[in-house]
Structure 1
Amino acid sequence: RIGLADEVVAPEALHDRALALALEVAKGALQAQALVKRAVDEGTSTDLATGLALEVDLFEAVFHTADSRIGVASFLADGPGKAQFTGS
Structure 2
Amino acid sequence: SILFPEVPIALRLSSHLLLGVVRIYSRKVNYLFHDCSEALVKIKQAFRSTAVDLPPEESTAPYHSITLPETFDLDDFELPDFGFSHG
Higher helix content, 1 or 2:
1
Q: Which has the larger radius of gyration?
A: 2
Larger RCO, structure (CA 8 Å, separation 6 or more) = 1
Tell me if TM exceeds 0.5: no
TM-score by length of structure 2 reads 0.28
